[in-house]
Amino acid sequence: MNILILEDDENQSAGLSQYLKEYEKDFHIYMEKDYDSAKKRAFHVPIDLFFLDIELEKEKNGLDFGMILRQDSRYKNTPVIYLSVRSDYVFSALNDLHCYAFLPKPYKKEDVFRLLNEILKSSMQEPQKDSLLIKDKNGVSFRLQPSDIIYVTPMSRRIHIFTTLTEYTTQYMSLSDFHFLFPNLIQIHRKYLVNPAFIKNYDRTNQLIHIGEAVLPVGRNYKITLP
């Protein structure tokens, strides 16, 4: 699970991170201090859970960040937990931005663990339709939606995945194994699987496919049939 903490107090951030690691050592935690760095991280790495401090020293705060998350389809239903010493933010956080919970500071380990139990139980009961859990080269798990894949290619006995959001490199896996997991892809070359939904043009004369921002070769032994 990828977790982002937006907190400008390093001690608070480190304390929360320690609680999360005590709960599950395999959590991958990103700690950001301000709105801009958190936004950059969230839109380059898929995040499964957000902890957002409402009071930030800079102009934009955690509520502002929560607002842009809810405006993006990728994060419309992602759990968001707001952190604050002020209880007067509770109504706005829970009602206007539909956050999962409000955690008052100083937070207690048992409260953090209780929320994690609830969130993980809920995610197990309502998994994202058709998505699969894959591990990257560092052993960090991420959920991959078949419709988000543009194309993939093998790289040093791993699979490099290009998606609409970012790029991933898996742990050791063959191209055929990956194809078995994602049969929506078609093979155009011994080194490429592509999502036909993203193909812009098929140059039959030169045997090239234009997909996303890439131009990929079509192998002589591969017959491509497009709708």
Q: List, run by run, the mean pLDDT of 10-residue segments along the chain (227 residues).
A: 92 93 91 92 89 82 85 82 68 51 81 86 56 76 83 94 88 90 92 94 93 93 75
Written as one string, the DSSP assignment of the chain is: -EEEEE-S-HHHHHHHHHHHHHH-TT-EEEEESSHHHHHHHHTTS--SEEEEES--SSSS-HHHHHHHHHTSGGGSSS-EEEEES-GGGHHIIIIIS--SEEEESSP-HHHHHHHHHHHHHHHHHSPPTT-EEEEBTTS-EEEE-GGGEEEEEEETTEEEEEESS-EEEBSS--HHHHHHH-TTSEEEETTEEE-GGGEEEEETTTTEEEETTEEEE--TT------
List the chain domain ranges: 2-125, 132-217
pTM above 0.95, yes or no: no
- What's domain 132-217's superfamily in CATH? LytTr DNA-binding domain (2.40.50.1020)
Q: What is the CATH number of domain 2-125?
A: 3.40.50.2300
